Amino acid sequence: MAEKHSSSSLGIISRKSMLCLFLFASALFMLSWFFLLRSTSSAGFIGLSLLPHPKLNPFIDNGNSASWNRKDVEPSIGNRAILVDNEGEEEKPQKKDDLGDVKCSGSDNNYKQVLKIFMYDLPSEFHFGLIDWKPQGGSVWPDLRAKVPEYPGGLNLQHSIEYWLTLDLLASEVPGIPRAGSAVRVRNSSEADVIFVPFFSSLCYNRYSKVNPHQKKSKDKLLQEKLVKFLTSQKEWKRSGGRDHVLLAHHPNSMLDARVKLWPAIFILADFGRYPPNIANVGKDVIAPYKHVIRSYVNDSSNFDSRPTLLYFQGAIYRKDGGFARQELFYLLKDEKEVHFQFGSVQKDGVGKASQGMHSSKFCLNIAGDTPSSNRLFDAIASHCVPVIISDDIELPYENVLDYSQFCIFVRTSDAVREKFLLNLIRSIKKDEWTRMWKRLKEVENFFEFQYPSREGDAVQMIWQAVARKVPAISVTFEPVIYGPHEVLLLEKVRNSMNSHCRF
């Protein structure tokens, strides 16, 4: 028909078809422009989508929607750290969300937001074998659908982070386990953000660091030697020099020998008290909370007036290192009526009593022991007893995203040991301010809760997110270096300066 037309009135038709062609070409051009924008640049996207998507980033988002607000983050340190940390991340989720509206609403939506972790299938003697679990059916791992092996209780539990993190990675491979997903196990190490080493080093230290009569070395030493040999021969280790490996050493004495050989890795620690700064430091490593041993205060409807004890302390007396303050404080406080000051660590049978004591106190003292950190801080948080921290060198978990000054009191040791100083300070904190801190404690306590399956915003998720914040720094490649003592220091300097933006 068109042909017929064209033959009869050529002039008009050709003008018409020219118009059609022009329109078609314009449409094509606009379409291609549109798709080009979609596929290449999210900067183009920001231009196109006038309304910024609320879900900029999972880390920021979690924080805002859960319980801490931007304005809750200390402006000088925390806020800046969040913004800088997420600079590289911002574009991808933006793209994901906008694309999600169009067509890719499928399964790979969370791509890039989730930390991808490769975990070595270490023999069970390094992990669940240490809690007397026996491998069955050729797997080095327990079948979580059948039975989850239990971690030994008592004081071992303080450092049980190794167990919770490993369980969470295993669970990420089992469909149907309802868990929060900041991290997922991947089987191809080339696709992983970090490499996880599932060695239960704290339990190993607690249980096997004694040399038995017929042994030359303790099992703890032997396993560390074996681990160093294994790791340094892996292609994953050689590829990065170990910098993308995540090692657990929460007990201050765990990995005592291996730490000086595996130092390029990211350590997850309780504090830096027993580490020289070139082996572990706040730039490279992650501080994780202790698991509290005190019972959580469920449905806490107490208030300032219903908690009779003003100040509570229970702990061991130490003379060495930073611990001298405990003794000084004891003499200053022992005759004060509203103060409970008792020596001796919380043993199994004492947990109930200590729980009751902390649940009925307004303030709980945390004094540096022979290391800067102790599980008392986390016991206090679980008890909603406002922590009074006297430990000049303490490093706190998730410090760049959580402002501790909103629910903790920090006192310099030199001030705390001055006559009357501490009690005057604490008595000056009145009901309103205390209540504000108590409420905040109830909001943040979940960040310190270890559980299986792991849930949104609990300690396991917070630790994975802290590890994720270290990833941008490890992916910067170095020339291969033969590590001598000089290079060790030099490399650390470089890494520290690289990492410093994460904190300041």
- Note the residues at the interface with ligand NAG (CB under 6 A): 188, 190-191, 298-299
Residue 76 CA to residue 434 CA, distance in Å, equals: 24
Closest by Cα among 465, 359, 387, 376 to 66: 465
Give the nearer residue to ligand NAG in terms of CB position, either 76 or 299.
299
- Between 2 and 298, whose beta carbon lies closer to ligand NAG? 298
Q: How far is CA 377 from CA 368, 404, 428, in A?
A: 10, 11, 21
Contacts of 420 (CB under 8 A, 6+ apart): none
Minimum gap (Å) between residue 192 Cβ and ligand NAG: 9
Q: Which is nearer to ligand NAG, 119 or 287 (CB)?
A: 119
Taking the complex as a whole, the smallest distance from the CB of residue 16 to ligand NAG amounts, in Å, to 52
Q: Of 235 and 320, which has the nearer Cβ to ligand NAG? A: 235
CB 223 within 8 A of CB 125: yes
- Least distance (Å) between residue 299 CB and ligand NAG: 4
For residue 501, the surrounding DSSP H or E stretch is: none
CB of 490 to ligand NAG, least distance (A): 31
Least gap, CB of 301 to ligand NAG (angstroms): 10
3-state secondary structure of 475: coil
- Helix 459-468 vs helix 58-65: crossing angle, to nearest 10: 150
Closest distance of CB 190 from ligand NAG, Å: 4
Of 118 and 450, which has the nearer Cβ to ligand NAG?
118
CA distance 387 to 403: 13
Q: Is the dihedral of CA 470, 473, 478, 481 positive or negative?
A: negative
Nearer to ligand NAG, 68 or 120 (CB): 120
How near is the Cβ of 302 to ligand NAG at its closest, in Å? 13
Please give the full DSSP string across 260-291, using - where no structure is assigned.
GTSTTSEEEES-STTS-TTTS-TTT-EE-PPP
Cα–Cα distance between 116 and 193 in angstroms, integer?
5
> What's the closest the beta carbon of residue 452 comes to ligand NAG, in angstroms?
20
Q: Toward ligand NAG, which CB reaches closer, 297 or 363?
A: 297
Kind and range of the H or E run holding 452: none
Alpha-helix residue ranges (DSSP H) falling in 334-453: 351-359, 376-383, 413-416, 421-427, 431-444
**In the complex, minimum distance from the CB of residue 194 to ligand NAG, in angstroms, rounded to a whole number:** 15
How far apart are alpha carbons 173 and 405 in whole angstroms? Answer: 38
Nearest approach, Cβ of residue 188 and ligand NAG (Å):
4
> Nearer Cβ to ligand NAG, position 111 or 343?
111
The most distant pair of C-alpha atoms in the chain lies apart, rounded to whole Å, by 115
Q: Of the two residues 299 and 405, which places its CB atom closer to ligand NAG in the complex?
A: 299
For ligand NAG, give the closer residue by CB, 189 or 375. 189
How many residues are listed for the chain in this entry?
504
For residue 472, give the nearest of 492, 504, 500, 448 by alpha carbon.
500
